Amino acid sequence: MTSLASTATASAGPIGVLTLTALAVTLGYLAVCMIRPFRRCRRCHGIGRRRSLILRVGRTCRRCNGNGEHLRAGRVVINYLRELHDKGTPR
């Protein structure tokens, strides 16, 4: 007679797999936001200047103010929450 205790495995099921995947993606994105808070500007591709449509004159990118970089959306949220925590409510 074989023992059934050794064959019992814990299966997560599809909801468990989805939850773990979402958790892994979220934690990975937060790690990226902590390590590299800035990303390249999509409009000027990190150059900081754009050519205007009509005269094709080079101008400073209005989206990134010529920096060529943007703060990631996740980092904006982290900074907001940190600022909210630092202000706090006096007790």
Nearer of residues 32 and 38 to Zn ion, judged by Cβ: 38
Rounded distance between C-alpha atoms, residue 74 and residue 72, angstroms: 5
Buried b (16+ CB within 10 A) or exposed e, 28-67: eeeeebeeebeeebeebebebebeeeeeeeeeebeebeee
Between 33 and 41, name the residue whose CB sits nearer to Zn ion.
Answer: 41
**Residues at the site binding Zn ion, with contacts judged by CB under 5 A:** 41, 43-44, 61, 63-64
**Whole-number minimum distance, CB 34 to Zn ion, in Å?**
23
Least distance to Zn ion, CB of residue 80, Å: 22
Closest distance to Zn ion from the beta carbon of 57 (Å): 16
Task: Report, in Å, the least distance between residue 56 CB and Zn ion.
Answer: 17
| Closer to Zn ion by Cβ: residue 33 or 44 | 44
Q: Do residues 69 and 42 make contact, with C-beta atoms less than 8 angstroms apart?
A: no
Specify whether the CB–CB gap between 31 and 65 falls below 8 A. Answer: no
Nearer to Zn ion, 19 or 60 (CB): 60
